[in-house]
């Protein structure tokens, strides 16, 4: 039943833009992006991904620190370092002349996922991950949930999915944002998301927010010690 409900929610959420509806976070390149056509959404998302890639390339330790911080104060310290990245602020991060000189923006939770993707692109640790059997109790709770800015239900579901279907997440992250291939990958991984959704919970996430949560969960699984199944 939960799988059918989740599939219906995904069908509604997959087209929702993640970049235009939230306050900007990232490179201060000028005025805010304006809501526009789907191509603008894609360009904005791609530029935000490039920002994340640039930040990891230039300030990898700060990106890792921001993703693994367990306190708000610690996280803010790393975010402050990242926001001062002159190298990425001055980099060419856009494909479209229409976006030149505008602010690259993304919600905080989505940017976290993009940074996690940037890390995963440069490592092979996630490729060795194998599916684990379903666990019970609080096996999918993690301390880092407190600083992601997401509903804990979303992070718990993402961790569960990363444990049981890491290959499905890798397939999703291999697609272009807002592409037909991404949509197909989201639907495919939905067979795991449904059973992983905590009992009685309702998923409220658009496609890019969901992608970000799954990317971060896979990042943590590939870099943290194995948590014993309870």
pLDDT tens for 9-24 read: 343 333 334 444 433 3
pLDDT reported for residue 5: 36
- pLDDT confidence tier of residue 104, bands split at 50, 70 and 90: low
- Cα atoms in the Cβ-side hemisphere of radius 13 Å centred on 129: 29
Res. 213: pLDDT tops 90: yes
Tokens of 195: 């059973």
Closest CA to 222 of 123, 110, 113: 123
Helices 108-121 & 207-223 angle (0-180, nearest 10): 50
Which stretch of 68-77, 119-128, 199-208 has the lowest confidence by average pLDDT?
199-208
Q: Indicate the average pLDDT of the chain.
A: 78
Residue 90 above 80 pLDDT?
no
Give me the pLDDT at residue 199, please. 81
- pLDDT tier at 27 (50, 70, 90 boundaries)? very low
Residue 92 has pLDDT above 70, yes or no: no
Q: DSSP per residue over the chain, as a string?
A: -HHHHHHHHHHHHTT--SSTTS---S---SBPPPP--HHHHHHHHHHHHHHHHHHHHH-HHHHHHHHH--SHHHHHHHHHHHHT-HHHHSS---S-GGGTTBPP---HHHHHHHHHHHHHHT--GGGG--------TTTT--GGGGGS-S-HHHHHHHHHHHHH-HHHHHHHHTSPTTSHHHHHHHHHHHHHHHHHSPTT------HHHHHHHHHHHHHHHHHSPPPPP-
Share of the chain above pLDDT 90, in %: 54
Give 164's strand partners: none
Confidence (pLDDT) at 106: 76
The pTM of this model reads: 0.78
Give, rounded to a whole angstrom, the gap between the first and last alpha carbons of the chain.
25
Q: Which residue has the higher pLDDT, 226 or 184?
A: 184
**Average pLDDT, integer, range 132-158:** 93
Pick from 163, 164, 169: which is nearest to 212 by CA? 169
């Amino acid at each position: 039943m939960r799988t059918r409900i989740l599939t219906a929610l995904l069908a509604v959420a997959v087209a929702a833009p993640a970049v235009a509806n939230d306050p900007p976070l990232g490179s201060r390149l000028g005025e805010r992006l304006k809501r526009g056509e789907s191509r603008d959404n894609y360009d904005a998302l791609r530029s935000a991904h490039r920002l994340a890639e640039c930040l990891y390339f230039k300030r990898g330790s700060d990106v890792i620190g921001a993703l693994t911080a367990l306190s708000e104060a610690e996280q803010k310290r790393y975010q402050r370092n990242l926001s001062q990245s002159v190298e990425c602020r001055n980099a060419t991060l856009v494909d479209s002349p229409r976006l030149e000189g505008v602010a690259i923006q993304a919600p905080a939770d989505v940017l976290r996922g993009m940074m996690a993707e940037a890390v995963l692109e440069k490592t092979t640790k996630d490729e060795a991950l194998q599916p684990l059997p379903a666990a019970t109790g609080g096996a999918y709770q993690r301390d880092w949930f407190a600083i992601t800015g997401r509903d804990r239900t979303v992070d718990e579901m993402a961790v569960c999915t990363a444990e049981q279907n890491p290959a499905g997440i890798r397939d999703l992250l291999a697609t272009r944002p807002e592409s037909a291939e991404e949509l197909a990958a989201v639907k495919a991984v939905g067979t795991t998301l449904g059973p992983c959704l905590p009992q009685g919970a309702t998923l409220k996430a658009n496609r890019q927010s969901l992608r970000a949560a799954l990317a971060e969960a896979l990042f943590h699984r590939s870099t943290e010690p194995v948590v014993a199944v309870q």
